[in-house]
Structure 1
């Protein structure tokens, strides 16, 4: 932060190229990149938001555009998130833990 003058640099790490390659290979980073690609390219996100269910321990929300959908079930009690979405290429449904 002192060298750049940017306040937000206080909580950022500056990676050298080799360290960035290693960090990018980590499973958590790969999962985040997959979620970003899904959010950027899936046709459901061109549609309408849906709040399907919500209570004190879980929320089920998503997006729908015609036959395309993407939803996330967040379970706070078990600390899990399950993402389910339509397969825009082959049809059917894909589900994974995020």
Structure 2
């Protein structure tokens, strides 16, 4: 293949591997890997050492709240009170103690 040793590319792979290992419990992913470490002979672009997945996780932005219509639909399907989420009479998990 006549490729020369590329220590910068290897260093990036090592750093990414360490980051993924540190966050392995959270099932991290690196969809932007080809932007960070493109296959040779492409030149390495500048990289700030951050992964999008980690930055998004650290930002801790909650998911958008479901619409009232969706809440009503899902509650009706499971026979739940849409305001409390508790089972209503007719629900397979309804108990009079609730």
Q: TM-score, normalised by structure 1?
A: 0.28
Q: Between Structure 1 and Structure 2, which shows a larger proportion of helix residues?
A: 2
Q: TM-score, normalised by structure 2?
A: 0.28
Q: Between Structure 1 and Structure 2, which shows a larger proportion of strand residues?
A: 1
